[in-house]
């Protein structure tokens, strides 16, 4: 169905992992996997609409966008190459189209990385990582996810960037008020632009890293500097007319996932710098 909603590779892969982790009955052949993925997508996006039940009725799978079906085949073989699934149900059914999770795949599926399928599940995921998420940040993130699912990728990018800045500015405010080392963050507080604030904050933090627990500074460069920069650049590119191509659905989806470790890092640092 070319008029059906098309999903990104990342979205489909997440649903595949959810289906595999749930161990849905009859999900031991590739066609059944496609049917179950399509059914999960329909239940999430069109609640109340029944496309039929049972492997013999391929209503849900038939409703998939053709490119979704192509991506699902790629995802299957990607998971096979990555060792997440292995061919064969058992010794009596050792070949394709039978398949099963490998031992590695079972643990990988159970890890439940940053996956979401609507605004509620996304906000719940962020709130779990950041229990004191600012109400304003939550509002912007809700707008970002709603815009993403509406296909408004520029709007989603801008709202996400605002939320990231709000959480980071709160970190600077807390650090600046620290009775012992607050003077190290005065420059970060006074800088006008977010990139300069990030650089000044990191320079102010460096002399004190040895006294900060490992959990609060692990992967600091990736989760703070790099991710904040990506979100800032994406926001600026979307918010200022420049003729640059808008972000793709895949890029916005990845950025929404990246917000979680970024916000988690900010939260942990904020707890330590109070």
**And the tokens for 146?**
């709603």
| Domain extents in the chain | 9-110, 119-273
DSSP assignment, residue 195? H
Q: What is the pLDDT of residue 210?
A: 87
Across 87-95, average pLDDT: 80
Confidence of residue 183 (pLDDT cuts 50, 70, 90): very high
Average per-residue pLDDT for the chain? 83
Residue 52: pLDDT over 70: no
CA 274 to mean position of chain CA atoms: 28
Across 183-188, average pLDDT: 93
User: For the chain, where are the E strands, in sequence order?
Assistant: 85-87, 99-101
Tell me which of 39-43, 67-71, 212-216 is least confident.
212-216
The listed range with the strongest mean pLDDT (40-44, 209-213, 267-271) is: 267-271
Measured between alpha carbons, how far is residue 94 from residues 19, 23, 24, 80, 83 in Å?
21, 19, 20, 14, 16
Q: What is the pLDDT of residue 95?
A: 83
Residue-by-residue DSSP string for 141-182? HHHHHHHHHTT-HHHHHHHHHHHHHHHHHHHHHHHHT-TTTG
13 near 77, Cβ under 8 Å? no
d(CA 19, CA 27): 8
Domain 9-110: which CATH number of 1.10.3470, 1.10.10, 1.10.1760, 3.40.50:
1.10.10
- Between the two ends of the chain, the Cα-to-Cα distance in Å is 55
Residue 146: pLDDT over 80: yes
- More confident of the two residues 116 and 243: 116
Confidence of residue 55 (pLDDT cuts 50, 70, 90): very low
Residue 169: pLDDT over 80: yes
Q: Is 79 helix (H, G, I), strand (E, B) or coil?
A: helix
Q: What is the pLDDT of residue 57?
A: 42
Q: How big is the chain, counted in residues?
A: 274
Residue 107: pLDDT over 80: no
Q: What is the pLDDT of residue 54?
A: 44
DSSP assignment, residue 193? S
Backbone angles phi, psi at 150, to 5 degrees: -95, 0
How much of the chain, in percent, has pLDDT values that exceed 90? 26
C-alpha angle 250-31-86 in degrees, rounded to nearest 5: 80
**And the tokens for 96?**
């394709």
d(CA 225, CA 102): 36
Regarding pTM above 0.85, the answer is: no
31 preceded by cis ω (within 30°)?
A: no
Segment 210-244, tens digit of pLDDT:
888 887 877 777 777 667 766 776 667 666 666 66
Residue 153: pLDDT over 80: yes
Q: Is 90 helix (H, G, I), strand (E, B) or coil?
A: strand
């Amino acid at each position: 169905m070319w008029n059906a909603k098309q999903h990104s590779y990342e979205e489909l892969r997440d649903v595949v992992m959810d289906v595999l982790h749930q161990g849905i009955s009859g999900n031991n052949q590739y066609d059944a996997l496609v049917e179950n993925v399509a059914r999960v997508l329909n239940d999430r996006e069109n609640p109340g609409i029944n496309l039929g039940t049972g492997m013999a009725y391929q209503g849900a799978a038939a409703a998939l966008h053709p490119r979704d079906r192509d991506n699902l085949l790629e995802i299957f073989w990607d998971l096979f190459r990555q060792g997440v699934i292995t061919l064969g149900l058992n010794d009596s059914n050792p070949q394709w189209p039978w398949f099963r999770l490998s031992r590695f795949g079972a643990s990988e599926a159970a890890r439940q990385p940053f996956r979401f399928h609507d605004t509620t599940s996304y906000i719940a995921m962020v709130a779990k990582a950041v229990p004191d998420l600012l109400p304003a940040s939550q509002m912007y993130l809700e707008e970002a996810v709603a815009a993403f699912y509406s296909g408004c990728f520029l709007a989603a990018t801008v709202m996400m960037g605002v939320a990231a800045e709000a959480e980071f500015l709160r970190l600077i405010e807390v650090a600046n008020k620290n009775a012992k080392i607050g003077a190290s963050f005065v420059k970060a507080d006074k800088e006008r632009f977010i990139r300069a604030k990030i650089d000044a904050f990191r320079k102010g933090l460096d002399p004190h890293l040895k006294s900060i627990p490992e959990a609060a500074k692990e992967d600091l460069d990736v989760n703070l500097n790099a991710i904040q920069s990506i979100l800032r650049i994406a926001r600026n590119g979307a918010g200022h007319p420049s003729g640059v191509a808008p972000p793709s659905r895949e890029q916005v989806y990845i950025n929404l996932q990246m917000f979680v470790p970024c916000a988690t890092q900010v939260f942990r640092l904020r707890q330590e710098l109070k």
